[in-house]
Structure 1
Amino acid sequence: MDNNKMEVLSPAGDMECLMKAVDFGADAVFLAGHEFGMRTASKNFDADELARAVEYAHTRGSKIYVTCNTLPRNSELARLPDFLSACQHIGVDAFIIADLGVLELAKKYAPAVECHISTQAGIVNYAAANAFYNLGASRVVLAREMSFDEIADIRAHIPSELEIEVFVHGAMCVSFSGRCLISAYMTGRDANRGDCAQPCRWKYHLYEENRQGQYFPVEEKDGGTYLYNSKDMCLIDYIPQLYKAGVSSLKIEGRAKSAYYAAVVTNAYRHAVDGFYSGGCKDDYRVHQRIRQELEKISHREYSQGFYLGGQPGQNTENGGYIRHYDFVATCDSSNGTDAQIIQRNRFFTGDTLDVLPPGGIPFDVVIEKMYNEYGESVDSAPHPMQRLKAVTSCNIPAGSMLRKKRD
């Protein structure tokens, strides 16, 4: 990676996600071990998987950042030194840290590993950024509640070697930089321990204590009331503004999301960043529409620009679910001309036109002309999850490609 080029930083909740993020263009991937990382819904990485992840990324020119961004309790502290030392031993590139005690332990037990300060630390000014730099941090992940102008002001008042990382895509939390207690209050699942039940996405009604069993709607819209439901963030159209503000790394949210999500979003931001630099880093750069459209091919909530333009990002008051225009139906394991070995993920049929996203490439359409099961029998559909099939197609599908089908 060019040290002066903005980094594309992608999420991974398991090994498949890690491999897809790297294969589709991530400069770095952030992930977690089985402890100390704020995503319990993800499979995450045991010691052997973490070593494999580092090897896979490093042999392909990518970095690995390990999240240590929970606020550990006293009972957990004794396990931290061995974990930190083990990460240094296998070559982890950085820790993402929210707690001052963890920062001090990391400097002691893994001094060769860089320390990045998590968005959980709530950094919104240059005094805080400089304080963490003086404590040994090489990067600060700013709070999401920042405008481009505020980021530029921080950049102007911190050392040039202190990097700035910001979130550019994915889910946003109704509470300040994810420090939310709604889930803990309502379900006993603590968001700040990585176990959020996402009650901000639920539909709410009023209940009057003297009218048992009778619920009263609080209607924002005909479909109900979603009091806390933030829109998703998308900054694919704001690469020049991020560059001008002095951002070093573009972070994609989503360690609890699928390998398909990791591949598609990484690919889109990879092309957007590369196009910006190859075009001379001009203020009037506009990402190609086909790249922008890729972000409509994943499940997502309504998009917004977060706080970057100033003001509030807005809430999704229509529903608590996702927008989905495409289904991810298969991956290509290998190919020989127009014969492709594919692995089914969702049902599709012979004769379907599928949208293909090749690693590092541009999407294109292909027609499934014939399909054969593992016994060599001709089949009309692919109904079984993870079924291996041979597909005869209208053109070559590169190995590692993701195949999508547009919904009617």
Structure 2
Amino acid sequence: MELLAPAGGIEQLRAAVRFGADAVYLASDRFGMRARAANFALEDIPAAVEIAHAAGVKVHVTANILMEQGDLAALPDYFRALDAAGVDAFIIGDLGAAAIARRVAPRVALHVSTQASVANSEAARVWYSLGASRVVCAREMSLGDIARMREDMPADMEIEAFAHGAMCMAVSGRCLISSYLTGRSGNRGHCTQPCRWSYTLEEEKRPGEHFPIEEDGRGTFIMNAKDMNMLAHLDALRAAGVDSIKIEGRNKKAFYVASVVNAYRQVLDGAPAADFAPELEAVSHRPYGTGFFFGEAEQAPDYDGYEQQAMHVADVVSSDAGARTIVARCRNRFAEGDELEVLSPRVPVSCVVVRNLTWLPDPTESDPDPAPVPVPVANRSCGIYRFSVEVGAAIGAEAGAADDADAGAAVETATRTDDGAADAAVTCVGTDAAVYVGAAAEAEVEAGAAIRADASAATRTDDGAVAAGSLPAAGDFLRVRRFRRSARSGA
């Protein structure tokens, strides 16, 4: 099955590509259902397509809001621009927008958004007759429903299904609550998620006296859906006839995208789901369920909030194998002596211990070459830090695989220059600078190409420790075990 990942911005796109997505879906700054995501300016989409295509990854662009009459005039030029950019598919839920797309950009595949609520083979056939090559099935469908639809659909029409991420309480996301309560329409990409709010009752004869809506004696968030997690059921999705599994999350950060894509990539490639289930607990999530695939979807009535087992603390910018040092961009606080876990594509999670932590100040006009500053704690958001490392053991159930030093196994890494520094271009939300960019492999890393290194670069010793000479590569993520829960009420 195709692994389709969200790309809410350029950092997320690079993470999805590097950690194993077969395709990404994104939006321009118009007509998409996630208006709060960073998204892409229309003029930036050709570069995004180039990054993805250089790594063999397809690009699907969403234009799936509820189209109003005033939107129609802009659609022809919009679709032509996306066609010229080389995108592979449009994800559209509106019949009028679909008709325009087929007329002005017939090269681009038409995928039918879940917003269209395709839940039966006759609906799929109608869309097929209009030129659609794929349907994103309604989220309310069970695996049995999908299998029966598959049997009666055109053989060359594909099925895409959400497999991971947030669930909407409304039918295929078509909800009026946000528009009614706040004036911001979820069907136009501006959902304020009122289904996650806590509600009380006010009785007509007792104004001002509020009563909780209770369930089993507890206060409840009655519309708060669990997040979906189908990692353990990929074979069942495949057996039902699903061609593409989709990860929800265009409002998520690059660390989330990398973690989830990596887990699903590994399991799709044959790793046991139990080995990577903990990776999905590490990232921020609501309680997990399996949506409607095995029956009625479950709610999370106790509280609205997220929890995570690990905190993303830094992005690796470069590393120097000879000096055993890492340069990283700080995302959350970490300190001298902390043990950090390293998330890399297609290899077991390992750990490093921070030593000789040093802040690298940005050059200024008055001080173009500032001296490094030793510090006990990295706490400047998006600041650049350097530290030497002690490399620890591989972590988790998958660590056993590290004992097998199979020289035939290819390991994902970044190209390194003659001095051993890994090359990458790293951008930061809120800044325009791309700092500490190496030259030798910049074009390849910028393009998102998956660069293979000899397996000996990450040979592991018999006890599972990373051997000398192997360090985290540019584009890897560093995290620390730090449980966190955010909730407005309840547990």
Alignment-mate amino acid for residue 347 of structure 1:
R
Alignment-mate amino acid for residue 378 of structure 2:
A
Segments of 4+ moved more than 4 angstroms: none
Corresponding residue of 2:385: 389
Q: Aligned runs of 1:118-267 on 2, under 5 Å?
A: 118-220=113-215, 224-267=219-262
Shift of 1:34: 1.1
Shift of 1:219: 2.5
Q: Tell me, yes or no, if structure 1 residue 363 matches structure 2 residue 359.
A: no
TM-score normalised according to structure 1 size: 0.93
Corresponding residue of 1:290: 275
Cα distance between partner residues in 2 of 1:242 and 1:207: 44
Corresponding residue of 2:359: 373
What are the ranges of 5 or more consecutive residues in structure 2 without an aligned counterpart?
361-370, 392-470, 484-491
Shift of 1:224: 2.4
Q: Tell me, yes or no, if structure 1 residue 313 matches structure 2 residue 297.
A: yes
Corresponding residue of 1:66: 61
The alignment partner of 1:238 has SS state of helix
Q: Tell me, yes or no, if structure 1 residue 345 matches structure 2 residue 331.
A: yes
Alignment-mate amino acid for residue 14 of structure 1:
G
C-alpha distance after superposition, 1:283-302 (max 9, x if no partner): xxx42x33111100111000
Cα distance between partner residues in 2 of 1:207 and 1:106: 49
Shift of 1:48: 2.4
Cα distance between partner residues in 2 of 1:221 and 1:293: 30
Cα distance between partner residues in 1 of 2:239 and 2:220: 39
Shift of 1:209: 4.2
Cα distance between partner residues in 2 of 1:110 and 1:83: 10
The alignment partner of 1:391 has SS state of strand
Alignment-mate amino acid for residue 296 of structure 2:
Q
Cα distance between partner residues in 2 of 1:226 and 1:372: 46
Cα distance between partner residues in 1 of 2:275 and 2:480: 16
Any conservation in 2 of the 1:30–1:64 contact (CA below 8 Å)?
Answer: yes
The alignment partner of 1:22 has SS state of helix
TM-score normalised according to structure 2 size: 0.78
Any conservation in 2 of the 1:39–1:255 contact (CA below 8 Å)?
Answer: yes
Alignment-mate amino acid for residue 44 of structure 1:
N
Structure showing greater radius of gyration is 2
Any conservation in 2 of the 1:23–1:360 contact (CA below 8 Å)?
Answer: no
C-alpha distance after superposition, 1:383-405 (max 9, x if no partner): 11001010111132122111111
Corresponding residue of 2:25: 30
Corresponding residue of 1:326: 310
Which of 400, 404, 408 is 2:475 aligned to?
A: 400
What are the ranges of 5 or more consecutive residues in structure 1 without an aligned counterpart?
1-5, 277-285
Corresponding residue of 1:3: none
Which of 15, 27, 34 is 1:20 aligned to?
A: 15
Any conservation in 2 of the 1:126–1:157 contact (CA below 8 Å)?
Answer: yes
Which of 30, 45, 51 is 1:50 aligned to?
A: 45
Cα distance between partner residues in 2 of 1:48 and 1:249: 28
C-alpha distance after superposition, 1:195-248 (max 9, x if no partner): 110011111111234444332222336762211000000000001101111111
Corresponding residue of 2:397: none
Alignment-mate amino acid for residue 328 of structure 2:
I
Which of 68, 74, 79 is 1:79 aligned to?
A: 74
Alignment-mate amino acid for residue 152 of structure 1:
A
Cα distance between partner residues in 2 of 1:175 and 1:355: 38
Change (3 A) 1:306 1:380: same
Shift of 1:253: 0.4
Cα distance between partner residues in 1 of 2:276 and 2:317: 24
Shift of 1:368: 1.0
Shift of 1:372: 0.9
Q: Tell me, yes or no, if structure 1 residue 270 matches structure 2 residue 268.
A: no
Aligned length: 392
User: What is the aligned-residue identity percentage?
Assistant: 46
Cα distance between partner residues in 1 of 2:235 and 2:135: 20
The alignment partner of 1:138 has SS state of strand
Alignment-mate amino acid for residue 189 of structure 1:
R
The alignment partner of 1:407 has SS state of strand
The alignment partner of 1:405 has SS state of strand
Alignment-mate amino acid for residue 473 of structure 2:
P
Alignment-mate amino acid for residue 35 of structure 1:
R
